[in-house]
Amino acid sequence: MGFCGAALGAAATGLRPVVEIMFVEFLGVALDMLVTEAAKLRYLSGGAYTAPLVIRASVGAGLGFGTQHSQTLETWMYACPGLKLATPSGAGSAYGLLRSAIRDEDPVVILEPRGIHAEHEEVTLGPDGLIPLGVADIRRTGDDVTIVSLGQTVRTALTAADGAPWTAGVIDLRTLIPWDRERSANRSSVRASRPGRGESVLRWLGNRDRRQRRCGVLPCAAGTDRAVHLSRRAGALSGASRAAVPAVGARCPGRDH
């Protein structure tokens, strides 16, 4: 709480502090500074003050840190007005999103999947490497299935698409608040060919509050490291493949609804 409180005061005076929280669970004791104060400063001051601060926190399971330090917990921030929320999927997006977050006039939370910290990739430095908040990345085009992924599930989605008997479009959301509604919900943006085919089932994303109360598909997918298939062409999948694709709105294994 002390770190976040000091960052809020520094941001109000014109600085652009970056606070690193080792595990996202530790942010629980400092949420008041973030969601009650920083996120509301612009509104409460009538626009006279902003809070251009960044909170970085590591998230995710798979490295043996125990149940207390293996959660994702984007839902802690997802329904809070005044915050922006991003999750990188590799070194390139981590660099680009962080630099854009530092330049933003509002508080931004960046949740970094610790499972990809040791993975390497080419990174474009400087202004060309900036990634605007709220812009998804179409990683692959395909005609039969759209896979909307986030964080470390992006590589899971790409691997699944590589080994599938059908063609899949893969989207890396990169930012949850604001999310790229146009690119994510527009099937034509990820089709490789044959525009007009397919059945869109993405409208469930539009009602954020209702989905969050029910622990919707998107946060469950991020928390269980599963890629989510959000749209499919009717009849495109075989019986065996269809059983392997979770239905939209399905209950998430291992989660308490």
Distance between alpha carbon 46 and the CA centroid of its chain, in Å? 29
Residue type, 204: W
Distance, CA of 220 to CA of 230 (rounded, Å): 13
Residue 181: phi, psi to the nearest 5? -65, -45
Distance between alpha carbon 212 and the CA centroid of its chain, in Å? 14
Eight-class DSSP state of 205 = G
Helix, strand, coil percent content, the chain, rounded in steps of 5: 40, 15, 45
For the question of residue 69 being annotated catalytic, the response is yes
Q: How many CA atoms lie within 13 A of 254 on its CB side?
A: 9
Q: And the tokens for 257?
A: 């609804």
Give 18's contacts (C-beta < 8 A, 6+ positions apart): 7, 53, 54, 56, 98, 102
Cite the active site residues. Answer: 69
